[in-house]
Amino acid sequence: MPTTVVNSRVSVADRDATSRILARAGISMSEAIRAFVQRIAATGEIPDYIPTHADTVRDARVAAAKDFLSRMESVPTPGYDPAVSDEEIVAQERMRRFG
């Protein structure tokens, strides 16, 4: 199977620490990276510990929704009376519409 070279920038400290850990397990850096890439290719999934653009978008939408809801808490609801049950509201609406 044809192969290609993949380059990546990592900190020297991360590279050295990873190399030591992999060496203890008898795995080269190339083997670890190859296994990582093969796993993604085989499963079609990105590991949960890697943030993706979709995660960023979802987090931004959740934050915006929470912000909106917190701002809406202070907006008074016209005509809302917590002492009136849903059934009473439905009955009142029926009377208003149909007499």
The C-alpha atoms of residue 37 and residue 54 are separated, in whole angstroms, by 20
**CB-CB contact of 62 with 70 (8 Å):** no
Does residue 3 sit in the same domain as residue 43?
A: yes
The model's pLDDT over 60-76, given as tens digits with 9 standing for 90+, comes to 999 999 999 998 888 87
- For residue 81, what are the domain limits? 52-99
Q: Is the pLDDT of residue 78 over 90?
A: no
Does residue 23 sit in the same domain as residue 60?
A: no
Global pTM reads 0.54
Residue 49 banded pLDDT, cuts 50, 70, 90 = confident
> Mean pLDDT of all residues in the chain?
90
Does residue 18 sit in the same domain as residue 56?
A: no
Does residue 39 sit in the same domain as residue 57?
A: no
Name 40's Cβ contacts closer than 8 Å, sequence gap at least 6. 46, 47
Amino acid 29: pLDDT: 95
